């Protein structure tokens, strides 16, 4: 799962800098120390790209590289290796498993540009993947290269960079299939001009998909064959998830002038514990089975709950994150279906939270929020 560092470079005026801007010092240090073979068009070797994502220290006691992903090393190695071949990469997982975050950092490390992005929705047109037209120019002078508007994918092909397609399975099936020729033939025909754009060495594509969306717009077998699929799992342990939430909330909080995370360490542990127990259907000690609500209760949602709690503590409290600051956020994350989920939440409060030592304040706060 993805994490954020405790010290990143600020981009003046940018609320959320792109990865290649926020971590420019790490990428520069890696490039300087990287003496391993690099695929054509890559800024770093596969070894250095993996180090950038997983974190570590450069040889000789050099720069400390902060981890961007916490999880099995092999997952990162397979993802990086895929990009060095002629197959595209599909990052698959439940919501909140850092698919977008990982794709952004892979693109930043490989080609130094994570902005060649297509956001998939039910309304994404074919032009977003292929190309469009400047209609004023088209009507005035007719079809020409000057009138053509390149998509992010087309630009990546021409420049030998990494393109990104988010939420691929939300894109209509006929639009998805416009990727087949691009990924198999590495060319994008422009029949209106009797021309084509051929992919330059270094081009590849990273797509993300939510495996909860199966049945929305399933990938055709022809398109799926063009991808190597890597599944990103949820954090393996509670400590990993607590570490992820703490790091990410700390980074977000500093950008929003919120209180320091260490003041709310106990509440972060509670949020993660609640989410993992409801998600897994059993308490942490394995003694009590609980019902799972309809929501995913992902790590990303835990980060949102804690960040919102910190904002409440900063603006309407004494600056210290307490149970009352996170109770409403947890209620909103758990109770998505007002009928079924509310019953599940009330049962969890009464059978688990109420009996847990040291959680009386949390129980009272959640009861008040649920009233």
Query: Tell me: the pLDDT tens digits for 156-177?
Result: 999 999 999 999 999 999 999 9
Task: Say what the pLDDT of residue 215 is.
Answer: 52
Q: Write b or e for each residue in 329-348: b if 16 or more Cβ atoms lie within 10 A of its Cβ, otherwise e.
A: bbbebbbeeeeebbebbeeb
pLDDT category of residue 2 using cuts at 50, 70 and 90:
low
Query: Tell me: the pLDDT tens digits for 131-148?
Result: 999 999 999 999 999 999
| Cα(91)–Cα(29) distance, integer angstroms | 27
Cβ atoms < 10 Å from Cβ of 241: 24
Q: Which long-range contacts (CB under 8 A, 24 or more apart) does 252-259 make?
A: 252/4, 252/303, 252/307, 253/307, 253/310, 255/15, 255/16, 256/307, 256/311, 257/314, 258/307, 258/310, 258/311, 258/313, 258/314, 259/310, 259/313, 259/314, 259/319, 259/320, 259/321
pLDDT category of residue 370 using cuts at 50, 70 and 90:
confident
Mean pLDDT of 275-294: 93
pLDDT category of residue 282 using cuts at 50, 70 and 90:
very high
The least confident of 163-172, 194-203, 263-272, 344-353 is 263-272
Read off the tokens for 280.
């897994």
pLDDT category of residue 353 using cuts at 50, 70 and 90:
very high
Query: Tell me: the pLDDT tens digits for 87-125?
Result: 999 999 888 888 999 999 999 999 999 999 999 999 999
Task: Say what the pLDDT of residue 317 is.
Answer: 87
The least confident of 87-96, 215-224, 229-238 is 215-224
Query: Tell me: the pLDDT tens digits for 12-62?
Result: 567 788 999 989 999 999 999 999 999 999 999 999 999 999 999 988 778
Task: Say what the pLDDT of residue 295 is.
Answer: 84
Query: Tell me: the pLDDT tens digits for 188-204?
Result: 999 999 999 999 999 99
């Amino acid at each position: 799962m993805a994490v954020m560092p405790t010290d990143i470079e600020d981009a003046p005026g940018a609320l959320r800098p792109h990865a290649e801007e926020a971590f420019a010092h790490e990428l520069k240090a890696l490039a300087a120390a990287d003496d391993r073979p690099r695929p054509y068009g890559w800024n770093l070797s596969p070894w250095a790209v993996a180090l950038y994502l997983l974190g570590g220290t450069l040889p000789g006691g050099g720069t400390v590289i902060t981890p961007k992903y916490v999880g099995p090393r092999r997952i990162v190695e397979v993802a990086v290796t895929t990009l060095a071949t002629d197959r595209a990469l599909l990052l698959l997982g439940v919501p909140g498993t850092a698919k977008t975050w990982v794709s952004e950092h892979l693109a930043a490390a490989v080609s130094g540009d994570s902005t060649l992005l297509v956001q998939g929705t039910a309304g994404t047109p074919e032009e977003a993947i292929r190309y469009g037209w400047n209609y004023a120019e088209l009507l005035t002078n007719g079809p020409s290269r000057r009138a053509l508007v390149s998509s992010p994918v087309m630009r990546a092909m021409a420049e030998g960079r990494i393109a990104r397609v988010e939420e691929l399975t939300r894109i209509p099936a006929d639009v998805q299939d416009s990727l087949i020729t691009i990924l198999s033939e590495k060319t994008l025909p422009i029949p209106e001009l009797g021309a084509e754009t051929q992919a330059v060495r270094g081009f590849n594509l990273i797509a993300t998909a939510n495996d909860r969306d199966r049945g929305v717009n399933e990938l055709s077998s022809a398109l799926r064959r063009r991808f190597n699929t890597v599944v990103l799992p949820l954090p393996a342990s509670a400590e990993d998830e607590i570490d992820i939430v703490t790091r990410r909330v700390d980074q977000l909080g500093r950008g929003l002038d919120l209180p320091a995370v260490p003041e709310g360490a106990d509440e972060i542990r509670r949020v993660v514990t609640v989410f993992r127990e409801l998600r897994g259907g059993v308490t942490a000690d394995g003694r009590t089975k609980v019902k799972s609500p309809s929501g995913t209760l992902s790590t990303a949602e835990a980060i949102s709950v804690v960040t919102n709690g910190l904002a409440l503590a900063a603006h309407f409290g004494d600056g210290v994150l307490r149970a009352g600051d996170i109770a409403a956020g947890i209620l909103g994350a758990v109770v998505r279906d007002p009928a079924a989920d509310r019953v599940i939440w009330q049962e969890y409060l009464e059978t688990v939270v109420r009996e847990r030592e040291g959680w009386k304040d949390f129980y009272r706060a959640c009861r008040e929020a649920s009233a």
